[in-house]
Amino acid sequence: MRASLHPVLEFTDRPCSWQSMSDLSATSDPVLAGFRNSIDNIDAALIHMLAERFRITKAVGAYKAEHELPASDPGREERQIERLRKLAEDAHLDPDFGEKFLRFIIDEVIRHHEQAKQVG
Amino acid sequence: MRASLHPVLEFTDRPCSWQSMSDLSATSDPVLAGFRNSIDNIDAALIHMLAERFRITKAVGAYKAEHELPASDPGREERQIERLRKLAEDAHLDPDFGEKFLRFIIDEVIRHHEQAKQVG
């Protein structure tokens, strides 16, 4: 490192970090950058939660197959939807979206189970 | 409470808790009930995370409108997808599903922004 009489100028001479692809928020607006950082943290949490959920549903699939339990349980699904709609409402989230989200996840679970059948 | 010579029999005479609609896991199998409890906890966390994410994207929409910033940023979306695919892979989740999930969320964000425009 060499000394500089104009450290601030020298800093601004470099490419700004928000121009770099590695900086996700990529904006010169500090308020927008803050919002984007929060969104990115939440997205990372969501992805890890989903990974854990699918780990469990895979274990459920294996357990049900091993113990000859029925693969689907329509009553359980109905109760899950009812509960998630209520939770969504309490969190000021559109209950229809809450239900749509659960169906999106369940579709993926079914896809995993079908894949497992083809492999097994 | 009255005393009973056959407490176990008396217990099983009652409707089993897993037959009740209020019990989400609704199974007599303790292993399956454990899996279901974990899934239900994760689903509650996911719903609350999503509620917080939409709170932030609503604030972003309002902030962009107020400061006359462009509503969409294709470069940002591209970077988010790239990052989520990587995070999904690290968490042993199908990267295609990670991307599909982000698009599912972004579609809902766009729907919110369109609704806000109609109201505002």
Q: What is the pLDDT of residue B106?
A: 94
Contacts of B88 in chain A (CB under 8 A): 47, 51
User: Over the stretch B6-23, which tens digit does the pLDDT of each residue have?
Assistant: 444 333 334 444 444 346
Q: Which among A66, A97, A106 is the top mutation candidate for probing chain B, defined by the most B β-carbons within 10 Å of its own β-carbon? A: A97
Which carries the bigger pLDDT value, residue B55 or residue A27? B55
pLDDT at A94 over 80: yes
Contacts of A75 in chain B (CB under 8 A): 26
Could you tell me the two tokens for A105?
A: 């996840």
Which carries the bigger pLDDT value, residue A6 or residue B72? B72
A47 with B101: Cβ contact below 8 A: yes
As a whole number, the mean pLDDT across chain A is: 83
A87 with B56: Cβ contact below 8 A: no
Q: What is the pLDDT of residue A20?
A: 41
Q: What is the pLDDT of residue B114?
A: 84
B42 with A56: Cβ contact below 8 A: yes
Could you tell me the two tokens for B34?
A: 């454990």
Q: Which of A13-17, A86-90, A112-116 has the highest mean pLDDT?
A: A86-90
Nearest to A46 by CA among B110, B27, B91, B63: B91
- Give yes or no for a contact between A60 and B32, defined as CB atoms under 8 angstroms apart: yes
B24 with A67: Cβ contact below 8 A: no
Q: What is the pLDDT of residue A24?
A: 76
What's the rounded Cα separation, in Å, for the pair B90 and B95?
9
Sign of CA dihedral B46, B48, B52, B55: positive
Find the residue in A nearest to B32 (Cα).
A60
- Residue B88: which of A24, A27, A47 has the nearest Cβ? A47
pLDDT at B79 over 90: yes
Q: Other CB atoms closer than 10 Å to residue A85's CB: what's the count?
A: 19
- Give yes or no for a contact between B16 and A59, defined as CB atoms under 8 angstroms apart: no
A93 with B47: Cβ contact below 8 A: yes
Nearest to A83 by CA among A99, A69, A107, A68: A99
User: Over the stretch A1-49, which tens digit does the pLDDT of each residue have?
Assistant: 444 444 443 333 344 444 443 467 778 899 999 999 999 999 999 999 9
The alpha-carbon gap from A85 to the nearest alpha carbon of chain B, in Å, equals 9
Q: What is the pLDDT of residue A89?
A: 98
ipTM, 2 decimals? Answer: 0.79
B93 with A50: Cβ contact below 8 A: yes
A32 with B60: Cβ contact below 8 A: yes
Could you tell me the two tokens for B101?
A: 């999930």
Alpha helices per DSSP H over B1-120? 7-13, 30-66, 74-90, 95-119
